[in-house]
């Protein structure tokens, strides 16, 4: 998805707008409706903003991209808060951040309502390889991994890009496994699963060679 080229993405990046209402106003309305468990109706949002649907879609790209931006805005807040209340360094820090974040996401009532309204659509928005949300999730985890590997003596067990992708996929299996495959993974296994994935290279090699 070329989400970076939309006026909403540029506004989120800090680009100024001369319009009376802006893409950020659309995001505010979307966030409010999301919190209330309402479906995102683009026509209704355009009407509330006082613009036509063509203008709104020019701002946000598509309904899928817009919903992805709305969900990501809340996820980003949870991620930033998790960084602040997690201590440690290296693989333990990475695993702890991922575990704490996942537990917070699982408690999100708006997210659960979104999934219940249309499970297949929700999974496409949240986990598809074309998804804005998944792309940014992988990027955020990659930044976390590279920061810790550069600033500590931790050597990730596999390539950082691959590790970030696997961590996100693992999180998705805990969050949406019952919808994707009918298999629900117990929440109590989260900490162990993330720590196994982030174990240092020496530890991983010992397991492979044992």
Cβ(148)–Cβ(175) below 8 Å: no
3-state helix, strand, coil in the chain (%, to 5): 75, 0, 25
178 pLDDT above the threshold of 50: yes
Q: Which two tokens stand for residue 54?
A: 């063509």
Extents of the domains making up the chain: 3-61, 64-209
Domain 64-209 in CATH 3.40.720: no
58-82 confidence digits (pLDDT tens): 999 999 999 999 999 999 999 999 9
* 3-class secondary-structure state, position 121: helix
Using alpha carbons only, what angle is made at residue 66 by residues 106 and 136, rounded to the nearest 5 degrees?
55
- Provide the phi-psi class of 35: left if phi over 0, else alpha when psi is between -120 and 50, else beta: alpha
Contacts with 136 (C-beta within 8 Å, 6 or more apart), sequence order: 72
* 3-class secondary-structure state, position 154: coil
Indicate whether this model's pTM tops 0.85.
Answer: no
DSSP code of residue 158: S
Confidence of residue 17 (pLDDT cuts 50, 70, 90): low
């Amino acid at each position: 998805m070329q989400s970076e080229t939309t006026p909403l993405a540029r506004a989120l990046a800090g680009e100024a707008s001369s319009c009376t209402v802006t893409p950020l106003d659309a995001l505010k309305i979307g966030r409010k409706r999301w919190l209330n468990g309402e479906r995102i109706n683009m026509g209704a949002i355009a009407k509330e903003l006082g613009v036509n649907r063509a203008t709104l879609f020019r701002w946000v790209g598509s309904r899928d991209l817009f919903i992805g931006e709305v969900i990501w805005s809340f996820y980003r807040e949870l991620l930033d808060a998790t960084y602040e209340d997690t201590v440690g360094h290296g693989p333990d820090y990475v695993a702890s951040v991922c575990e704490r974040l996942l537990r917070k996401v699982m408690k999100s009532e708006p997210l659960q309502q979104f999934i219940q309204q249309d499970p297949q659509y929700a999974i496409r928005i949240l986990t598809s390889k074309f998804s804005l949300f998944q792309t940014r999730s992988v990027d955020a985890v990659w930044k976390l991994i590279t920061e810790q590997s550069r600033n500590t003596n931790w050597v990730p067990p596999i390539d950082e890009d691959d590790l970030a992708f696997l961590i996100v996929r693992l999180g998705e299996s805990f969050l949406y496994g019952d919808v994707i495959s009918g298999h629900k993974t117990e929440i109590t296994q989260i900490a162990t699963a993330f720590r196994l994935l982030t174990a240092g290279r020496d530890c991983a090699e010992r397991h492979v060679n044992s």
